[in-house]
Amino acid sequence: MRKLALSEDILLQAEKPARYTGGEINAVIKDREQVAVRFAMVFPDVYEIGESHLGMKILYHLLNARPDVWCERVYSPWMDMDRQMREKGIPLFALESQDPLKDFDFLGITLQYEMCYTNVLQVLDLAGIPLLAADRGEDMPLVIGGGPCAYNPEPLADFFDLFYIGEGEVSYDALLDGYKENRARGGSRQDFLRKAAEIPGIYVPSLYRPEYHEDGTLADFVPLCPEAPRKIRKVIVSQMDEAPYPLKPVVPYLKATQDRVVLEIMRGCIRGCRFCQAGMIYRPVRQKSVGKLLDTARCMQDATGYDEISLSSLSSSDYTELGPLLNGLLSECRDRKVNISLPSLRIDAFSLDVMSKVQDVKKSSLTFAPEGGTQRIRNVINKGLTEEEILSGAAEAFRGGWNKVKLYFMLGLPTETEEDMRGIAELAEKIAKCYYAEVPKEQRKGKVQITASASFFVPKPFTPFQWATMETEEEYLRRARLVKDTFREQLNRKSLHFQYHEADVTVLEGVLARGDRRVGAAILEAYRLGAIYDAWSEFFDMEKWREAFRRTGVDPDFYTRRPRQAEELFPWDFIDIGVTKRFLRREWERAMEGLVTPNCRESCSGCGAAVFGGGICHEN
Amino acid sequence: MKIRIRFSKTEDLRFISHLDVMRYFQKALRRAHVDISYTQGFSPHPVMSFASPLGLGQTSEGEYVDIEVGSSQPSAQMVERLNAVMAEGIQVLGFRRLPDTGKTNAMATIAAADYQVWLQPEEWVPRASCLGYWESYLAQDAIVVHQKTKSREADSDIRPLIQEAQWREDGSFFLRLAAGSDRNLKPEAVLDGFFLWLEEAGALPQGQKPALRIHRLDLYGEQDGKRISLEDFGEDMV
């Protein structure tokens, strides 16, 4: 029997003790004496969120496939446990062995959103690992970051020994082998870091020095040793069918946010929406085959016992074999009483037919993401969804019995006018009208319910909008109120609901997303002032961040409000995602002209992702 | 056909809640490919009902869930199949067929439960010097305790609900208590009352109450005025 890190007493006081006890079905237990490398994989948020994340599961699986490595899981202790551990001096531990993180060789931290940055520091702090990489001695674990936020690692550069740029399937073997060799040779931490810098996709921040112009913009990004390449190209899987996939994922006892089999059907997206970072960094589009997916689904159901399966991709409707895949899944799932959930499907006759087979029409709602309120702004963002498509999809759905619609929008997009803002309410109104026109009075089951929600746009690195200027908090709120007022003017206002996100978080996310190495000081200060769980509105406290910016002399406006020139060197420009800066700039200019760029299936726009030699760029 | 599964909940699994156990069983039954019956409708779920929920932190070797299946192998094989997909802390101890007729619902038939309870640390209440107090505590005509439930708060006499109570030589307590939906007594209530009794007698310093380690041994129902283990309502399939 494993010895738990926390006493019974402490566990029974915790809100959910099962967050800390591990031992779930399919958790991997190895003999700590028999492995050469111990790897702790961290998701810096609460258990139920982290345990739902596909990337964690993939890495856990592929690292544990090596007999010489034991990979374990770590999540942020929830606030109640955070307090207990600090008070009682209990070091943070990994779930499987319950051993303290300090005993590990690697701490791999996945960076899925900017608002988890203070939780990264929480994890290091509770583990007793110095927050600054420069302060870590020879016996401390190596801290490596990965995930989408690693595409601009600079704000976190001081806290990490390494970053992994790209998909985990590719370079971990080389990294772990290099680590073992270095240790066998008696090499130092520094020796290993230099060696690691030569591995494709690995970035060692301490081997680079940023230099700045007088106006504060980046002048140069200088490698400090011959091992550190000037450009670091992301690494990606070229053959999805051959990539390792977790057929026996951990099955949590607690209800995780994603409590089902997750079937990744493809990576990348053909669409090229200009605000979307995922759409650029995961290029090119690569698909798995139907046969492979059906086998995978079967194995995963047998190994987990889940009664629901969900397709995962950035845009499932663009999977070219969607019909055969769904038919295959449907016939199998019917026998097994398994539900299929279909997020990110474009609403049309085909998808509605499928949905009516797998969901209860009366209870489910339809989701559209027009993102912008007018055709003009949708062209600016290159969202290839027209009003006609939305209305005909809605009409079809209403005839099929649905009467709940969710709409997602963004406010604060580049070039946005008041007409675009009002267009949000007007589009919602048109959909409501469509319901009353399509469904005869005697067939209606109550009012149509249309819920529109707006988030505020945050420009992200490696998107055509990386040059965009953000608005102030007050301006975001003014725009949101204008939309709200327009909703009140609509004839069918009783069927319409409008909600919007917090504006202060948006501005902060903007600073962290396009920040440089100097922003790290503010993150550290905010954490010291008590900022933690910033992604949770009940804990987020902008005042702490404002104070941290004041104390460290970091000016948020420099990162959010300053116009960026075409030729400006960005902190993330040393990373090569395949997609070129030239292409991104061209897309920015086309956006300003309101020109739509065709998607990857219609025609190739020469973004640069073809250098990887795989995926859609090389089909036919 | 109706099946009654008896299982244990021990080790680290004592930290997962009753709700989590229910979800766990839904998945475990699928992993073992048990031919379980489902409800009708758009989101069919397996027909299952659990007996009296166990408190968080407590262990048990007498937990029960009733299910309905379309077909089944002999009991021994089903137990083996299920245990092949179980977590270490939950083991299936029995898989028996219930009679098709009669009142068999696990929750409805419960009349009593057996518990074994240890004090931690034991030396706070030494058996040698406190056994007399235990006997005088139980010898009362009525044991009135203040009990809080979600809906109400009241004084009630728990003495009639204590069917058997011994302080054994190994230091543990054996308790047979009324259980079920209308008259249910938790072992904590019996021992909290005892600690109060000790405090009043000056035999236990105020605020120095030992923690309880509670283990459920079995659940019982009543049939023709006789107490029988919930497991014995069913019969092994051979």
Query: Roughly how many angstroms between the first and final C-alpha of chain A, as a whole number?
Result: 56
| pLDDT band at residue B43 under the 50/70/90 scheme | confident
pLDDT in tens, A513-536: 999 999 999 999 999 999 999 999
Confidence of residue A112 (pLDDT cuts 50, 70, 90): very high
List of E strands, A226-352: 232-233, 261-264, 266-267, 286-287, 308-312, 339-341
* Residue in A with minimal Cα distance to B12: A21
| CATH node for A360-514 | 3.30.750.200
Q: Is A307 on the interface with B (CB under 8 A)?
A: yes
A361 pLDDT tier (thresholds 50, 70, 90) = low
Same topology for domains A8-233 and A238-358+576-620, yes or no? no
CATH topology of domain B109-223: Alpha-Beta Plaits (3.30.70)
Residues of chain A contacting residue B89, judged by C-beta atoms under 8 Å apart: 23
Structural tokens at position B232: 């014995």
Confidence class for position A236, pLDDT limits 50, 70, 90: very high
Averaged pLDDT, A362-382? 90
Decide if the complex's ipTM is over 0.90.
yes
A18 close contact with B: CB closer than 8 A: yes
Classify domain A238-358+576-620 at the CATH class level.
alpha beta
Strands (E), A227-285: 232-233, 261-264, 266-267
Residue A302's closest chain B neighbor by CA? B31
For residue A333, the model assigns a pLDDT of 84
Residues of B in contact with A11 (CB under 8 A): 15, 57
Q: What is the pTM of this model?
A: 0.95
Residue B108's pLDDT band (boundaries 50, 70, 90)? confident
What is the dotted CATH code of the domain comprising B2-107? 3.30.70.580
Q: Do B38 and A337 touch (CB under 8 A)?
A: yes
- The pLDDT value recorded for residue A362 is 66
Q: Residue A16's pLDDT is what?
A: 96
Mean pLDDT of chain B: 91
Three-class HEC string of A576-617: EECECHHHHHHHHHHHHCCCCCCCCCCCCCCCCHHHHCCHHH
Q: Which of B8, B10, B11, B12 to mutate to test the interface with A (most CBs of A within 10 A)?
A: B12
Residue A254 has a pLDDT of 96
Measure A25 CA to nearest chain B CA, in Å.
6
Where are the extended beta strands (E) located within A8-105?
37-43, 69-75
- Domain range summary for chain A, segments of one domain joined by +: 8-233, 238-358+576-620, 360-514
- DSSP, collapsed to helix, strand or coil, labels residue B177 as strand
The pLDDT score that the predictor gives to residue B147 is 76
Contact present, B44 and A337 (Cβ < 8 Å): yes
- Reading across the β-sheet that carries A69-75, which strands appear in turn? A69-75, A37-43, A106-110, A142-146, A162-164, A202-203
Q: How far is B140 from chain A (nearest CA, A)?
A: 33
Q: What is the pLDDT of residues B137-179, one digit of tens each?
A: 999 999 998 877 767 788 889 999 999 999 999 999 999 999 9
CA–CA distances in Å: residue B146 to residues A425, B56, B153, B162, B183:
58, 22, 7, 16, 16
Mean pLDDT of B59-71: 96
Cα separation, A303 vs A246, whole angstroms: 10
Residues of chain B in contact with residue A302, where contact means CB-CB under 8 angstroms, are 31
**CA–CA gap between residue A501 and residue A508 (Å, rounded):** 13
Name the pLDDT band for A384 (thresholds 50, 70, 90). confident
Q: What percent of chain A has pLDDT over 90?
A: 89
Average pLDDT, stretch B7-32? 95
Residue from the list B17, B30, B56 with its beta carbon closest to the beta carbon of A307: B30
Distance CA(A549)–CA(A529), nearest Å, equals 11
A90-106: average pLDDT: 98
Q: Is the pLDDT score of A1 beyond 70? A: no
In chain B, residues under CATH classification 3.30.70.580 are: 2-107
- Tell me the two tokens of residue A542: 């902008």
Check if A332 contacts B (Cβ < 8 Å). no
- What rounded mean pLDDT belongs to chain A? 95
Q: What single letter denotes the amino acid at residue A17?
A: P
State the architecture of A8-233 in CATH terms: 3-Layer(aba) Sandwich (3.40)
Mean pLDDT of the A493-504 span: 95
Q: What is the pLDDT of residues A556-592, one digit of tens each?
A: 999 999 999 999 999 999 999 999 999 999 999 999 9
The torsion defined by the Cα of A208, A214, A217 and A218, in degrees rounded to 10, comes to -20
pLDDT band at A210 (very low <50, low <70, confident <90, very high): very high
What is the C-alpha to C-alpha distance for residues A50 and A48, in angstroms, rounded to an integer? 6
Where are the strands (E) in A414-489, listed by range?
449-456
Q: Encode pLDDT of A300-317 as tens digits.
A: 999 999 999 999 999 999
- Residue A620, pLDDT > 70, answer no
Give A-chain residues touching B28 at CB under 8 angstroms.
Answer: 25, 305
Q: Determine the average pLDDT of the residues in B204-230.
A: 90
For B23, nearest residue in chain A (alpha carbons):
A253
Please provide residue A237's backbone torsions phi and psi, each rounded to the nearest 5 degrees.
-75, 135
Q: How far is B102 from chain A (nearest CA, A)?
A: 30
Q: Is A22 helix (H, G, I), strand (E, B) or coil?
A: coil
| Nearest Cα to Cα of residue B162 among B114, B227, B119 | B114
Give the number of C-alpha atoms closer than 13 A to the C-alpha of residue B227, restricted to the C-beta side. Answer: 13
User: Which among A307, A357, A361, A402 is the top mutation candidate for probing chain B, defined by the most B β-carbons within 10 Å of its own β-carbon?
Assistant: A307
List, in sequence order, every residue forming a beta bridge with A110; answer none if it has no partner. A146
